[in-house]
Each structure stands twice: as structure tokens, then as C-alpha cells.
Amino acid sequence: MTLSFKDLLNSGPKVINLGMERFYLDLLGQEVPVVKVNWRPPLARSSLMDRLRKLRGE
């Protein structure tokens, strides 16, 4: 499923919020479909994460 930028403008934002809760609440208040991610930092330090990503060819 790829939704283009055009689709975003035409159908309006349907948002996944990662980070500041305030942004999520403001979107809820505007009745924008929005899901908040209860994000946590990765367990692994960044050098390990980088190697993992490399391993996966990213």
C-alpha cells in the first residue's frame, strides 16, 4: 500500500503520531484520524542498531 503525496492532499491527513503527545491531542480535537505510538527508544545503543540495519541491507 503506497499512498502518494497527492492522496494525502486529496483525502486529508490520517496520522500516526510518534513523539509529542500534544500534537496527537490537537489532531484528535480536530477529528483527524490519528493513532499515537507509545514509542520507546531501542534497547540497543546506536552503533549496534546501525550494524543491525546494515545486516538487513538498509
Binding site for other proteins (CB under 8 A): 1-20, 22-23, 26-27, 29-30, 32-44, 46, 48-49, 51-58
Beta carbon of residue 8, minimum distance to other proteins (angstroms, whole number): 5
Residue 3 CA to residue 32 CA, distance in Å, equals: 17
Beta carbon of residue 21, minimum distance to other proteins (angstroms, whole number): 10
Residue 33 CA to residue 24 CA, distance in Å, equals: 10
Beta carbon of residue 54, minimum distance to other proteins (angstroms, whole number): 7
Residue 21 CA to residue 29 CA, distance in Å, equals: 12
